[in-house]
Amino acid sequence: MNIKRTIKQEILKRLSPKRAIVIYGPRRVGKTTLIKEIVAESKSKKIKFISGEDVNVQKWLSSQSIEELKSHVGDTELLVIDEAQYVNKIGLNLKLIIDHIETVNIIATGSSSFELSNQIGEPLVGRKWQFELFPFAQLELKEYEALHETQARLEERIIFGSYPEVVLAENKDEKQMILESIVDNNLYKDAIILDDVRRSQKIIDLLKLIAFQIGQEVSLNELSNALGLNIETVARYLDLLEKVFVIKRVGGFSRNLRKEVTKTARYYFYDNGVRNAVIQNFNTLDLRNDVGQLWENYLFMERLKKRKYQNMYANMYFWRTYDQKEVDLVEERDGKLYGYEFKWGPKKVKPPKLWLETYEEAEFEFINKDNYLEFIA
């Protein structure tokens, strides 16, 4: 089955010699498959498809020589650079191509946002369109299944996630093998190579600790003590894991109410299946004590995908007070606050009284299995 990716048509629409298309995302979410489909549907006749992992490509594509770049690009109409993060000063060289080879369209992909954005951000100001590709979104999958099929597959997606290979796998054993392969072979690759991390076991141990703290504030001091690392190193590793699309950081929301928690952060995994592979737990929900955490992680990431794919621009936070009043997700959109509380069970909860008193114009919604599809898809 070929699942249509939401961003494909937007990318095709924006292809232009004046701006590069940059696609970020975790490894094995289908970036290469997507750009091959785009190549097949583009109107370009002369296409050059290269990989940033190729040392020969790295040499000429990092040259900063207009003549050398011209000699390799030639009369190419569409230049596709997969794994562009491995090319030194890729942003500056793409700028030279855009400025001096006026007929070429460019698509570049990368699995590590920090390396690609650091190199591309400033050189390509006003010269790029940026997209992010995730594991399959329910927004994408709903086009291929009836409502009762979606509901029947909910538990499976909460446990095994939605990486393309996993979704398309025929049975649970195969799904588990794929996820273990992703974690063992791909998850840490960019972090270790690009930031010269030599203590990779510490990163694995850190992820395991984060996996058990979904929906909770993370203490750098506690992580530091548990791992035997200084706080600065822990903070750097967390930042690194976010920039290679393993986890997502969320800060606390406050408008200076003294009772509000703002100095700590919460972390979510980009994919539930990866989270469960990290802790080696693929048990069914009736055998687990972390269903609430899995549900919250699933809803958080599916909502993030929806906002990204539908251009719903919002700042996102959690809200909690020191006396344990909280809202799981706060979106600040168009000058208004929207609070969401996630519960696996059917029992509804009332919004915290202090939330309503402090933010009188804010909205509040309870998300459970009855209404979650409206929220994410």
- CA 156, 160, 162, 166: dihedral to nearest 10 degrees? -100
CA distance 312 to 314: 6
d(CA 210, CA 226): 12
Return the amino acid letter for 137.
A
Q: Specify whether the backbone of 338 is left (phi greater than 0), alpha (psi in -120 to 50) or beta.
A: beta
Q: Structural domain boundaries of the chain?
A: 8-132, 138-309
- CATH topology agreement for domains 8-132 and 138-309: no
pLDDT along the chain (377 residues), means of 10: 93 93 94 94 91 96 97 96 91 94 94 71 87 97 96 98 97 97 82 63 92 95 94 91 93 79 89 97 98 98 97 95 91 96 89 90 95 96
According to CATH, the topology of domain 8-132 is: Rossmann fold (3.40.50)
Question: Distance of alpha carbon 217 from its chain centroid, rounded?
Answer: 20
Give phi and psi for 337, each to the nearest 5.
-100, 135
Write the DSSP assignment of 346-362 as a string of letters. S---PPPHHHHHH-TT-
Q: What is the pTM of this model?
A: 0.94
Phi, psi (rounded to 5 degrees) for 20: -80, 145
Which amino acid, 71? S
Task: Please give the pLDDT value at position 348.
Answer: 79
Of the candidates 291, 289, 347, 3, the residue with the CA atom closest to the CA atom of residue 155: 291
Task: Identify the pLDDT of residue 324.
Answer: 83
Q: Which CATH number fits domain 138-309: 3.40.50.300, 1.10.10.10, 1.10.1470.10, 3.30.70.920?
A: 1.10.10.10
- Region label for 110, one of left (φ > 0), alpha (ψ between -120 and 50) or beta (otherwise): beta
Compute CA distances 310 → 75, 173, 243, 300, 377, whole Å.
Answer: 35, 34, 22, 15, 10
89-93 long-range Cβ contacts below 8 angstroms, 24+ apart? 89/62, 89/64, 89/119, 90/52, 90/61, 90/62, 90/116, 90/119, 90/120, 91/119, 91/120, 91/121, 91/122, 91/123, 91/124, 92/64, 92/119, 92/123, 93/61, 93/62, 93/63, 93/64, 93/69
Distance CA 260, CA 252 (A): 8
Q: What is the DSSP string of 144-208?
A: GS-HHHHHHTHHHHHHH---HHHHH-SSHHHHHHHHHHHHHHTTTHHHHHHTT---HHHHHHHHH
The confidence score (pLDDT) of residue 125 equals 87
Q: Which pLDDT belongs to residue 116?
A: 66
